[in-house]
Amino acid sequence: MMAAGGGEAVLPEFPRYKAAAINCDPRLADKAGNISRQLALVEEAAGKGAKLIAVPEMATTGYCWYNRAEVAPFVETIPGPTTDRLQILAEKYGCWIVAGLPEVDARTDVYYNSATLVGPAGVVGIHRKTHPYISEPKWAKQGDLGHRVFRTPIGNIGMLICMDIHFIETARLEALNGADVIVHVSNWLAEKTPAPYWITRAFENGCYVLEANRSGLERTVQFSGGSTLINPDGTIQSRFDDGEGIVYGEIDVAAARKKDFAGSGHKFRERRPDGYMELLHDPYLWNPLDFFRLYNYDPLPPGRESRVAAIQMSPVAGDVGNNLARTVEKARQAAGAGADLAVFPELTLSGPVNAKQADETALEIPGREMRALLDVALEHAIHLVVGLAERDGKRLYNSALLLGPEGIAGKYRKIHLDRKDSSWAVPGDPDFSTFNLPLGRVGVLIGHEALFPEPARVLALRGTDLLCCPSSVTHPQPYGLGETGAWHNYPIPRGYHPAHWHLWRVRGGENNCYLAFANMAGESPEGERYFGRSGVFSPDTFKFPRHERILPSCGEGMAILEIDTTDVPGSVYPTNVVRRKDLLCMRQPLWYDDLVKKTLPGE
């Protein structure tokens, strides 16, 4: 029986236990030596009481294979010689081990990049990498077993391999099917770790991510290490940086089954699957320049080089007149700085209202306040995204208005309401609208909606170039990460950064969209602090130095960034990542059906 949160209703035999991840540096083609060293590390971890132990992707053989013929001497079946040796340790110590290796299917002679879960009684399950990186297509078939979750005495275990976790869908599928822990084995590279993608998957799904990553240099490829245990709230519990060693942590299965945001709602029950059907579509299989003008319907705007501003400010609850005057002033400042579009916080005009204040100050659209903003838009040829409490008859909505020189260009009503919204607002219809502007195609998400991975994905699949996120959020706060000893060539950063993890940067990058995040600053009416950190982020999180602007955690201000939504003139195919959307090209919707089920497993 599955609980509403997506986990088992009854806790497992071991509800709290020690976990361990191995950081190692396999040598290419030295299978016997690699296995010997890794078994010694596994036994060390098991001897110290670890119940769940993870070993990196392709740890038995090394990773950088040229082709099928080169890796052929080193593949093996599952079960097979390596899993037999793992089982001996699992039985001796009463533990469960996840290890990565190149698998051959004995029936077909097809190769896979696989991970296996081995327990005291033998092989519990296999995951074959479903979303391959650039190297796997040289020798392996895309995984064909889906994203399964395995019930064990230490809880429900899911597995992912390296590139799999780039995609919101993979971890979400496993979490919705009850995973308490996602064991992610990888050969991660090209950034400091623990990687923001790993952290995001733990946070948004409310489950632990036990990460085993390799380190070292192989055929000119530098791997990042950083094996870790990430908590269900997205914080890093423990981390091993570089070299060979073991990182330990504790897993509390009950914590993985709560699925609560920090005081603002539930990670699963507030989902709106009726609005997610496009997650099963695959538009970027086709040239988007053709797809989005099919039958001459709603073609993408040509795009251009533009400047986008994110405004960080502190509206006063219920003081529409003052908030409007300050919004007009800041809009003029943005226009003076050359902005073509400025995004203001959630509920800019109304302020962070309670139910009584919302009822007293909610605005009809259009209204005189809109006329004041339209005057600025007309005078300065600027577009504005402004939040407000909207009245439509007897209904109140948490809305964002898009205004420009052409007038009111669009409106979006918040679909995923948090607990504060729910005291006064009703959710909008589950339709994630896009709006075509000279700078490109724009989508809007309000406040904590970006904490759910699906809405931004739906907007990206509709061809969005720029995600506008007017917000008044107090969590999840961006946080820093100390320096790494793993070598990376310039310009990949190795030192401390105060916003190593910023959820809104990840939302932009994983969808290959620019993203403008405009957050409130100061203290909320409930006594919490809005964390600020407004910014404008680029569509490629692996391009360094980062092309982004981020404001401090307190105080008002404006972050402004140049964006480019154009392609090389005359090109038949898109040459700009924001139009090409490489990560969306590599999705595998064949596996994604559970994302749109109206009920959680077991309900």
- 3-state secondary structure labels for all residues of 504-530: HHHHHHHCCCEEEEECEEEECCCCCEE
pLDDT in tens, 552-603: 999 999 999 999 999 999 999 999 999 999 999 999 999 999 999 987 655 5
Across the chain, mean pLDDT equals 96
pLDDT at 316 over 50: yes
- In DSSP terms, 311 is beta-bridged to 558
Cβ atoms within 10 Å, residue 575: 12
Shared domain check, 311 and 382? yes
Q: What are phi and psi of 170, to 5 degrees?
A: -65, -55
Geometric angle at alpha carbon 233, from 453 and 554, rounded to 5°: 85
Query: How high is the pLDDT of residue 601?
Result: 55
pLDDT at 2 over 60: no
Residues 475 and 204: their CA atoms lie apart, in Å, by: 12
Give the pTM: 0.97
Shared domain check, 187 and 43? yes
Query: How high is the pLDDT of residue 8?
Result: 62
For 386, the token pair is 């402004």
- In DSSP terms, 557 is beta-bridged to 312
- In DSSP terms, 408 is beta-bridged to 403
Query: Which CATH number goes with the domain that contains 173?
Result: 3.60.110.10
Residues 553 and 532: their CA atoms lie apart, in Å, by: 4
pLDDT in tens, 11-59: 999 999 999 999 999 999 999 999 999 999 999 999 999 999 999 999 9
Residue 298 lies in a domain: no
Residue 300 lies in a domain: no
Query: How high is the pLDDT of residue 207?
Result: 98
Shared domain check, 249 and 327? no
Q: What are phi and psi of 305, to 5 degrees?
A: -80, 130
Residue 310 lies in a domain: yes
Q: Which of 214-218, 265-269, 416-420, 522-526 has the highest mean pLDDT?
A: 214-218
Tally of structural domains, the chain: 2
Residues 206 and 257: their CA atoms lie apart, in Å, by: 7
Residues 9 and 254: their CA atoms lie apart, in Å, by: 10
Residue 268 lies in a domain: no
Shared domain check, 346 and 207? no
Residue 488 lies in a domain: no
What is the total residue count of the chain? 603
Shared domain check, 469 and 430? yes
Residue 121 lies in a domain: yes
Query: How high is the pLDDT of residue 596?
Result: 96
Shared domain check, 189 and 63? yes
Residues 6+ apart with CB under 8 A from 174: 147, 148, 149, 158, 160, 182, 205
Mean pLDDT of 285-310: 97
Shared domain check, 312 and 215? no
User: Which residue's entry shows tokens 């392609």?
Assistant: 567
Q: Sort strands 514-518 and 521-523 into parallel, antiparallel or unpaired.
A: unpaired
Shared domain check, 384 and 356? yes
Query: How high is the pLDDT of residue 265?
Result: 86
Residue 266 lies in a domain: no
Q: What are phi and psi of 251, to 5 degrees?
A: -110, 130
pLDDT at 5 over 50: no
Shared domain check, 551 and 524? yes
Residues 285 and 235: their CA atoms lie apart, in Å, by: 35
Residues 173 and 515: their CA atoms lie apart, in Å, by: 25
Shared domain check, 315 and 233? no
Residues 282 and 598: their CA atoms lie apart, in Å, by: 21
For 521, the token pair is 């600053």
Residue 114 is part of which domain span? Answer: 18-258
Would residue 197 be called left, alpha or beta, if left means φ above 0 and alpha means ψ between -120 and 50 degrees?
Answer: alpha
Number of alpha helices (DSSP H) and beta strands (DSSP E) in the chain: 15, 32
Please, which pLDDT band fits residue 76 given cuts at 50, 70 and 90? very high
- Extended beta strands in 141-240, E state: 149-152, 155-161, 181-186, 208-213, 215-218, 221-224, 228-230, 236-239
Please, which pLDDT band fits residue 262 given cuts at 50, 70 and 90? confident
Q: Where are the alpha helices (DSSP H) in 185-240?
A: 196-205
Residue 137 lies in a domain: yes
- For the chain, the first-to-last Cα distance in angstroms comes to 8
Query: How high is the pLDDT of residue 409?
Result: 97
Query: How high is the pLDDT of residue 3?
Result: 40
pLDDT at 167 over 70: yes
Residues 376 and 91: their CA atoms lie apart, in Å, by: 72
Task: Round the CA-based radius of gyration of the chain to a whole number and report it.
Answer: 25
Shared domain check, 310 and 193? no
Shared domain check, 329 and 217? no
pLDDT in tens, 184-233: 999 999 999 999 999 999 999 999 999 999 999 999 999 999 999 999 99
Residues 88 and 118: their CA atoms lie apart, in Å, by: 10
Query: How high is the pLDDT of residue 263?
Result: 73
